[in-house]
Structure 1
Amino acid sequence: MEATVVIPALNEEKFIGDCLRSLRAQTVPAYIIVLDNGSTDKTVEIAREYADEVLVLPGLSLRDMKQLGVEKAKTPIVVTTDADTVVPPDWLEKILRHFSDPEVVAVGGPVMPLEPNTVSSLYTKSLSTIAQAGLLYDANMAFRRDVMLGSGGYAHFKRGWDWDLSSKLSRYGRVVYDPDAYVITDVPFNRQLEFAALAANAGLLGIGAATRSPGALGFGSGFYLGALGASIDKVPDNLHHSQVAVAGLTLLSVFRGSISPDTYRFLAGLLTGVLGHHFVTEDIYDP
């Protein structure tokens, strides 16, 4: 079955050569489209050595680049991965075999860290666990092109649009997780930091609930509120959230005497959590 691999890229000269060479070494050939977001390094030059098609598209979001890649594809199956990801020689073969079943609309597999450490290993393990539940990660995802486009495509989120797409595709047929169809990907330090912060705040929520601490509950809730808000494209960006949080903390200090101590501690924790989320993740989200 014919397939197109769609790869977005921005200043990926360190990794994209290995990524594309691993795709060219597949036991099953595929058409490769690289969508470059205006790289200032040698990404485009390297991509043109290996890819069938390279589109230079400065200013597009990651979501829009992948959506365009799917629309440009001419094959019935589209596979997505990242420029900092390498794949085993039989990766495509293992993925594509599932589409012989007409009920299957999407396939994904595990994600493994390129440079394993405690945080990166836990991060990729969590992604793989979520994928087993049917919410596939776009560094290791394949789907029927017509079904994907018919479902409305990628949602206009800054984060999580691959999970949203998995959910939409599941309405049209089976979403399959193949534990043998793994990829190996780089996990940037800022992504590890975000994951560690989310895990720490999950623990803080638990501690807050167990000890009935309004401040701990507020901070944990605020961090997740910041994450939720920043993940939706129509909501203003993190900097705006941080400005609102600072203004809220200022007003809270002015009216501290008018509210109960527990309410004050909860609201102070909530706003500080939103502010903390900004400082941890300000350079991660797409414009």
Structure 2
Amino acid sequence: MVTVYLLFPILYAGLLKWLKHGWLQSNTPDSTKVSEKSVTVLLPFRNESQNLEAVFQSILRLNHRPLQVIFVDDHSTDEGRELLARYTRKNQDLDLQFLILVSQGIGKKAAIETGINHASGELILTTDADCLLPEDWVEVFLQSFASESVQLVAGPVISREKENFLQQFQQIEWASILAVTRLGFQLKSPIMCSAANLAYRKNAFFSVNGYEDNRHHLSGDDEFLLKKIVQKFGEDSCIYHKNNIVLTKAEKSWNRLLSQRSRWASKWNLHKGDIPHVGFTMVPFLVQLIFISSWGLLLQGWLGLVLFLYIWGMKIAFEMGTLGAILNHFGLKQSFSAYLGSSFLHPFYVIAVGVKALFGKFEWKGRKSS
């Protein structure tokens, strides 16, 4: 067992260095050409009245024109739709076409399908109501679609607040999500992306029959679509643009964070035939179990204490190096105490998310999992 604890941190450090190396690789397109395809920005929302003004102003600041923007109300119980109608009346622009629709079904997937059925754009760009978009968001995506073989482009999402430890923890965790996401694209076997920062050809969506076969699942509007497009159009049809970042709001409580992450993780058993996906899902879970088990070394005398400090010292140092490089790429910095606390808490957090995803119930926008 001592040998395992001696070798494990070295393997873990090697994995983190691999992730860091992959992240630092260039992400510039081979060509400076920009696609001339028409664009529709699609934003489904449910009970987001407190966020809609900020994202609306973010859309107004987008450089690209002309632009169609479709908001789809997923049967909100607040005044969000009325607020949007007020915003659009005050911001008339001949080069901006706003549509405010009510979803023809229940759930985010139905809202997206409703929007796509009314979209005039050849390219669909999706985001969420709690996000802020960079001014060149559309242009960067258009550059990626200059190649006709590209059917889908994903971009990074990260929380923007970092005033307290909960927010700092989320930002650091997002960095780890981004690292794994980009690695999947680099290995030509992408396993996830975020609909908060996603672009795809409308024809590609219809070619794979949209969300057919997975509409029943509460989440996965991004992940399932990604897998279907890769399967139909090939491994080079989907790319990841690490520089086109979208900022989202951090969750306000640990309970909300666990509920959100367990909802994301609950899709793992729907990919049983996808060996890379199952591996990417199970390996982190097993790694965290080893870290948690190492606390038992503190009961083994001075040798156990040395091993414990060695394991956790390696963990903290290499996580700071890798995740810090990703955050620095976006001009975000975290304190040593934030990395220290996150490193110690993260294994227990991952296990809690896994257990909740397997056996628990979660709620999203007032809807409960089955």
The alignment's TM-score, normalised by the length of structure 1, stands at 0.69
Shift of 1:88: 1.0
After the TM superposition, which of the residue ranges 72-81 and 148-157 deviates more from structure 2?
148-157
**SS class of match (1:17):** helix
Partners of 1:111 and 1:127 within 8 A in 2: no
SS of the residue 2:222 aligns to: helix
- 1:61 matched to 2:61? The reply is no
1:4 maps onto 2:50 in alignment: no
CA distance in 1, matches of 2:288, 2:210: 36
Whether the 8 Å CA contact 1:109–1:178 is kept in 2: the answer is yes
SS at match of 1:170: helix
- Which secondary structure does the structure 2 equivalent of 1:224 belong to? helix
Mapped contact 1:136–1:162 kept (Cα < 8 A): yes
User: 2:193 aligned to 94, 119, 136, which one?
Assistant: 136
Residue 31 of structure 1 corresponds to which residue in structure 2? Answer: 68
Listed as ranges, the matches of 1:83-232 within 5 Å are 83-116=129-162, 117-132=167-182, 133-134=184-185, 135-154=192-211, 155-156=214-215, 157-171=217-231, 172=233, 173-188=236-251, 189=253, 190-194=255-259, 205-206=289-290, 224=354, 227=357
CA contact (8 A) 2:39 2:68 kept: yes
CA displacement at 1:282 relative to structure 2: 4.0
Q: Take 1:183 and 1:61, find their aligned partners in 2: how far apart are those partners?
A: 23
Cα gap change, 1:185 to 1:40, in 2 (>3 Å): same
- Displacement after TM superposition at 1:119 (Å): 2.5
SS at match of 2:106: coil
CA contact (8 A) 1:36 1:58 kept: no
For 1:193, give the aligned amino acid. L
TM-score of the superposition, structure 2-length normalised? 0.55
Amino acid at match of 2:354: Y
Q: Distance in 2 between matches of 1:44 and 1:196?
A: 27
Deviations along 1:31-67, whole A, 9 cap, x unmatched? 1111112333331122222371001238611111112
The within-5 A match list for 1:246-257 is: none
Contact 2:208 2:229 in 1 (8 A): yes
Amino acid at match of 2:106: L
Question: Does the aligned pair in 1 maintain the 2:68–2:120 contact within 8 Å?
Answer: no
Q: Does the 8 Å contact 1:130/1:136 carry over to 2?
A: no
Report the equivalent of 1:18. Answer: 54
Residues 1:107 and 1:201: Cα distance change in structure 2 (over 3 Å): closer
Greater RCO, CA 8 A, separation 6+: 2
Q: Give the unaligned 5+ runs of structure 1.
A: 212-219, 229-273
Count of aligned pairs between the two proteins: 231
SS at the partner of 1:184? strand
Q: Distance in 1 between matches of 2:158 and 2:291?
A: 31
Distance 1:25 1:282, change over 3 A: closer
Q: What RMSD in Å do the two structures reach over aligned CA positions?
A: 3.2
Structure 2 residue aligned with 1:77: 123
How far apart are residue 130 of structure 1 and its match? 4.0
